[in-house]
Structure 1
Amino acid sequence: MLFWLQTLIFAAQTALAFLVSYLLLLTVTAWRANRRTEPLPTTPQHRFLILVPAHNEEKLLPSLLDNLAELDYPQNLYTTHVVADNCSDKTAVIAQQHGAIAHERHNLDLRGKGYALQWLLQRLATTPHDAIVILDADTVVSPNFLRVMDARLARGERVIQAYYAVRNPESGWSASLRYAALAVLHYLRPQGRMVLGGSAGLKGNGMVFTADIMRQHEWSASVTEDIEFHMTLLLNGERVTFAPDAVVWAEMPDSLEQSQTQNVRWEQGRLEMAKLYVPQLLKKGMQEGGNGRFFTLFDAAMEHIIPPFSILTGLSVLALAA
């Protein structure tokens, strides 16, 4: 009995050491990333549709829309579309007052960001554009956002994730902790993945897609629509690149209760995606290992396997104690 217990503990410690070492590899590799600011084209080329899903966001939405109106990009090359999803406030009116095109959606059976975006994408399918931008309503973006994305699209990148950071780190200790955590999750790790040939992943905010990508793949309506869409892209040979020079700052919950509710929702969705996609990613990686795609797919599987930082820290302490 003691032998089997010791064997089990050793196996758990080995697995934990592997996970921690893998995260350390991504972090260390991130320091090798090219941090030089790339020159931007003097003449922007691409037409953008900026999509903003919003549910009762009349208070925060004006900040985003005013911010977008002042971007360093020709205003005739981008339009902002707000989908007021099952709203009971003045979100749609506010959107129009601040220069956006408002789309009101009412469907109490199919509620949520995923359904709202899926509906709006279908409505805009025939609107001329080169790329789609998805932003949350509680966000502001760096003035160079579209200029950076325009340059990357010109280089042939098809799916791009901006650096998604915290807008209000000083509002409370919960937001401050989230600020530090997202600096690792949304900056260091994607940088490391770019160096190693992985995919930066989609974070749900600050995402850019070429028009043909959105025509080829339908947006998911699930709770974790960004993760599911990323998996679909990976399994179909696509890869997400990271644009650290383009930044989106979003409001984060400033209370423990709000933060816990949000985290539980994210982790439940992540576990569902792990059960569904990790076997597919590993199988695909073994099949396509010869063409350089193994690490990209293996890394995406690892992203689902590795537990949240708080759990990983607790397990590490227990492993050392054992």
Structure 2
Amino acid sequence: MEAIKIINYVIMVLFFACYAYQFLYIPIALLKKKKPLPKGKRHRFGVLIAARNEESVLGDLLDSLNTQTYPAELIDIYVVADNCTDRTAAVANAHGAAVFERFDQTHTGKGYALDFLLRKIRKKYDAYLVFDADNLVAPDYIQEINKTFSTGYDIVTSYRNTKNYGDNWISAGYGLWFLREAQYLNRPRASIGASCGVSGTGFLFSARILQKCGGWHFFSLTEDIEFTAHNIVNGEKIGYCPSAVFYDEQPTGFRQSIR
């Protein structure tokens, strides 16, 4: 029994040592003022959405993308209906997105869906934006993230807010976690010139990054962390745009959370 207590204590100390540096970010986040960015050059964006049986929420995301303050002629929206058995493809079509259906039960997951979608796109873009089908984006999202992209960052993550914070304590807990990630990790990291982290959805990568990576080859369960680590070790710096706000739907039950 004593041996188990000692092992648990050692693990606790190691975890604390690994994450203690994050306490230093708190005063930076509280004291460092945000600097307004110039509008910058207007770029052409391809929006990438991987959707699997998302007919009930996809239309809301597409509506929020179709009403951006950024010039509509510089935005093209692409949806991959990935192994869908519902009307996801029809909903995407009805909202003006270019839709590609994918049926592959062997190579499953968001990484494979994004790779498939990028191979289907024939137009050239300055950069790509990635969203999940249950997201909503603020009306000025693309306008704001374009400013950070124009400063020279080829990968940019944004402010992840919560659609359903008030549903219950589980969704609220997720919301607070992502608030901490945005305000007390990514924001201070950006302030001191360090790299930020991509968190699954609501991020930008440039055409140069796609070419440098040789396409989208991030297929693990945590493809966002894989993408982040790959680019940082290869000399890229990931920026953060706090004024580009999107809203993500959080789990409301343990079973949904674990899945």
Structure 1 length as normaliser, TM-score? 0.74
Aligned twin of 2:163: 167
Q: Which residue of 2 aligns with 1:82?
A: 79
- Matched-pair contact (CA < 8 Å) for 2:162–2:175: yes
Q: Is the 8 Å Cα contact of residues 138 and 244 (structure 2) preserved in structure 1? A: yes
CA shift, 1:22, in A, is 1.2
Q: What is the CA–CA distance in structure 2 between the aligned matches of 1:28 and 1:227, rounded to whole Å?
A: 26
Asked if 2 retains the 8 angstrom alpha-carbon contact of 1:33 and 1:191, the reply is no
Name the counterpart of 1:148: 144
- Note if 1:243 corresponds to 2:212: no
State the one-letter code of the partner of 1:107.
Answer: D
**2:188 matches 1:192:** yes
Matched, 1:110 2:92: no
**Residue 174 of structure 1, CA deviation:** 0.7
Aligned to 1:24: 23
**Which residue of the partner structure matches residue 118 of structure 2?**
121
Aligned partner of 2:61 in structure 1 is 64
Distance change in 2, residues 1:24/1:92 (3 Å): same
* Number of residue equivalences: 256
> Is the Cα–Cα contact under 8 Å of residues 37 and 245 in structure 1 kept in the other structure?
no
Aligned to 1:209: 205
The range that moved more, 176-185 or 83-92, is 176-185
| TM-score normalised over the length of structure 2 | 0.91
Query: Mind listing any 5+ residue stretches in structure 2 that lack a counterpart?
Result: none
Task: Work out whether residues 115 and 222 of structure 1, in 8 Å CA contact, stay in contact via their aligned partners in 2.
Answer: no
Are the counterparts in 1 of residues 158 and 244 from structure 2 also a CA contact under 8 Å?
yes
Q: Which amino acid aligns with 1:60?
A: V
Q: Closer, same or farther in 2 for the Cα pair 1:140/1:13, shift >3 Å?
A: closer
Task: Using the TM superposition, give the Cα deviation of residue 216 of structure 1 relative to its aligned residue in structure 2, in angstroms.
Answer: 1.1
Sort the Cα spacing of 1:21 and 1:74 in 2 relative to 1 into closer, same or farther, 3 A: same
Corresponding position of 2:231:
233
Contact 2:29 2:187 in 1 (8 A): yes
Indicate the larger mover: 165-174 or 89-98. 165-174
Higher strand share: 2
Structure 2 counterpart SS, 1:213: helix
**Shift of the alpha carbon at 1:221?**
1.6
Whose Rg is larger? Answer: 1
Cα distance, 1:256 vs. partner?
2.5
User: Aligned-pair distance for 1:167?
Assistant: 1.2
Rounded Cα–Cα distance in structure 2 between residues aligned with 1:62 and 1:131: 23
Spell out the pairing of 1:289-308 with structure 2 (5 A cutoff): none
Match of 2:132 among 125, 129, 136: 136
Shift of 1:10: 8.3
Query: Does the 8 Å CA contact 1:164/1:248 hold for their aligned counterparts?
Result: yes
Structure 1 counterpart of 2:140, which letter? N
Following superposition, the deviation at residue 197 of structure 1 comes to 2.8
Which amino acid is the alignment partner of residue 193 of structure 1?
R
Deviations 1:267-296 (A, max 9, x none): xxxxxxxxxxxxxxxxxxxxxxxxxxxxxx
Q: Which amino acid aligns with 1:69?
A: N
Post-superposition Cα deviations, 1:64-94, rounded to whole Å, max 9, x if no partner, equal 0011110001111001000000000010010
Distance 1:74 1:10, change over 3 A: closer
Paired residue type of 1:248:
F
Separation of aligned partners in 2, 1:148 and 1:78: 14
Percent identical pairs in the alignment equals: 32
Amino acid aligned to 2:250? M
For CA contacts below 8 A with separation 6 or more, give which structure has more relative contact order: 2
CA distance in 1, matches of 2:134, 2:4: 50
Unaligned runs of 5+ in 1: 263-322
Shift of 1:223: 1.3
Structure 2 SS opposite 1:174 = helix
Amino acid in structure 1 at the alignment position of 2:233: L
